[in-house]
Amino acid sequence: MFSVIISSFLSFNHVKLHVMRAANRNNSTIFGLSSGFGKCGVAVIRVSGSACRNIIIKKTRLKTFPEPRRALLATIFHSTTNDMIDRSLLLWFPGPNSFTGEDTVEFHVHGGSAIISAMYDSLSSFPDARVAEPGEFTKRAFYAGKMDLTEVEGLADLIHAETEAQRRQALRQANGQLSFFYNGMRARLVKAIASVEAYIDFSEDQDVDDSVLSDTVLEVDKLIGELRTHLNDNRRGERLRHGVRTAIVGAPNVGKSSLINLLSQRSVSIVTSIAGTTRDIVESYYDIAGYPIILADTAGLRTATDDVVESEGIARARAYVESADLLLLVLDATRIETAHRLDVYVKNYVQALGIREEMLSRALIVLNKCDLVDSATLQLLKASAGFCVVSCESKAGLPELLERLRTRLEHLCGNPAMESPTISQERHRNHLKQCLTHLELFRDYFNETSSSNRDLAIVTHHLRNAVRCIGKITGSVETEEILDVVFSTFCIGK
């Protein structure tokens, strides 16, 4: 009985979703440059829609229609002037076995701007054919049920990935691993709803006993635990997607600007012997060991200065430190008295900078200017655990610093190749928090209300709201505003 109810519930929602998507689809034929703009050897122009067959016939004049998914060398003509545009490869993907689910054709022409312009002019002459809007090909794939919103967002992240770790995370999401997790959770919630509704409808006939409700509450408890674990990820996925905000901080003239120049292998910040050269925050984006990192050179921190501009720079630096994921705390090795314990020196140093001592848990401590200390002092500094001893001038200690950085970045971002899919979008996190709230309301109602006073018909709406929250993540419950935000991140030809 339960399986029939659940199947009916899922089938109804599937048909409803199909109708919603069909109503949103635009029947016009769209085309766009999928290979990016600028001169190149080959430019891929993608066309999707009902006019594709007519476009192939008129633009190629082939005697036999191309075989599906098989490259064919063809002469391409202008549809109105009949002039030859190019000789190129043509790929034909009849719907529904295409990216968009519609008839699709790709023209792999030479990448000159004049050729692309002639192709656009020719394609626009066909009735109901127009240039695609940003992300419209992927949007049609979504409407055709080829992918859900998590896969769409994963595809967008894959296109924009700049580091190896970002690529791995985006690829897993684009391949549906996050979708599989959320859809499994949604299916369990649908089953819970069906069980409660079956109890409401059939308990009086003795076809459903009270164990159905207790089993449902146990299942909701499991889901609550899984959701809390999923949410308690220290925002690793989002940090990996956007980059690890890293502040290079320290007293004036300890080598902060030299360090960012060393790590970036270019002159990002001005380096002089004058203390307080850096006034504003200088941010640069880098790939370190496959992880994205945003390095920020900040003003040298000190408690007193008569310079108004430097005071503003110090205030901005302290604000940035509070929001940073990682700190590179730079010390001048020549100012350290080896007779004192280094950990005590660091605590006093941080206090003098005006940084909370708790921030040391986020810090990687860098002892700079090791080339200017004697060999005995250098050995003592190197023997101290937890410190990176470097010279920005001679580049000594750079490999060890980079390895320490890699370890920290892996801890902050996780390893997308080894771990379960993580939350990579703030949108997902917000909907999951709402889902968790609805599940807790459902469970608390059962724990706090006696069986004789329970109104199951009303309380079940908490489960339905939880299902809707998951649906907003995957796109099974559509909101045009959400769709517009998601697809706007794509380029024209995707």
Amino acid at 350: V
In a domain, 492, yes or no: no
386 and 461 in a single domain? The answer is no
What pLDDT score does 22 carry? Answer: 44
Question: Beta-strand (E) ranges in 49-167?
Answer: 72-77, 84-93, 104-111, 129-131
User: Would you tell me how many other CB atoms lie within 10 Å of the CB of residue 314?
Assistant: 24
Kind and range of the H or E run holding 31: strand 29-33
pTM of the full structure: 0.78
Cα distance between the two ends of the chain: 45
Same domain, 182 and 319: no
pLDDT at 182: 93
pLDDT value, residue 278? 53
389 found inside a domain: yes
User: What residues make up the domain containing 45?
Assistant: 26-146
Within-domain flag for 305: yes
Last residue of a domain, one of 115, 146, 177: 146
Provide the number of structural domains found in the chain: 3
pLDDT at site 88: 94
Q: pLDDT per residue over 35-78, tens digit each?
A: 877 788 899 999 999 999 999 999 999 989 999 999 999 999 99
Q: Are residues 51 and 197 in the same domain?
A: no
Q: Which pair of tokens denotes residue 320?
A: 């940035």
Q: Which of 361, 379, 413 is the last residue of a domain?
A: 413
- Cα(163)–Cα(243) distance, rounded to whole angstroms? 10
Tell whether 265 and 401 lie within a shared domain: yes
DSSP string for residues in 378-427 = HHHHHHSTTEEE--TTT-TTHHHHHHHHHHHHHHHH--TTTSPP----HH
448 inside domain: yes
Q: Which of 41-55, 328-342, 411-425 shows the highest mean pLDDT?
A: 41-55
Q: What is the mean pLDDT of residues 463-481?
A: 81
Asked if residue 367 and residue 255 are part of one domain, the reply reads: yes
Residue 327 domain-assigned? yes
Domain shared by 388 and 338, yes or no: yes
d(Cα 292, Cα 236) in Å, to the nearest integer? 12
Q: How confident is the model at residue 304 (pLDDT cuts 50, 70, 90)?
A: low
Asked, for residue 487, whether it belongs to a domain, the answer is: no
Residues 398 and 313 placed together within one structural domain of the fold: yes
- Residue 267's pLDDT band (boundaries 50, 70, 90)? low
pLDDT in tens, 97-136: 999 999 999 999 999 999 999 999 999 999 889 999 988 9
Q: Note whether 113 and 99 are same-domain residues.
A: yes
Cβ 236 vs Cβ 250: under 8 Å: no
Confidence of residue 346 (pLDDT cuts 50, 70, 90): confident
Verify that 184 and 293 share a domain, yes or no: no
What is the three-class DSSP state of 363? Answer: strand
Residue 18 lies inside a defined structural domain of this protein = no
Is residue 208 scored above 80 in pLDDT? Answer: no
342 within a domain of the structure (yes/no): yes
- Name which of 115, 100, 102, 146 is nearest 33 in CA terms: 115
Q: What per-residue confidence (pLDDT) applies to 94?
A: 95
DSSP bridge partners of 110:
42
Residue 404 and residue 285 share a domain: yes
Tell me the CATH number at 95. Answer: 3.30.1360.120
pLDDT, tens digit (0-9, with 9 covering 90-100), for 167-176: 999 999 999 9
Omega prior to 96 cis, within 30 of 0: yes
Say yes or no to pLDDT of 419 above 50. Answer: yes
pLDDT in tens, 358-395: 888 899 999 999 988 888 888 888 877 778 999 988 88
Whether 239 has a pLDDT exceeding 70, the answer reads yes
Can you give the CATH number for the domain in which 452 is found? 1.20.120.430
Whether residues 245 and 181 share a domain: the answer is no
| Domain identity same for 357 and 469 | no
CB count in 10 Å sphere of residue 214? 11
Which domain-ending residue is among 117, 146, 175? Answer: 146
Mean pLDDT, range 144-160, rounded to an integer = 91
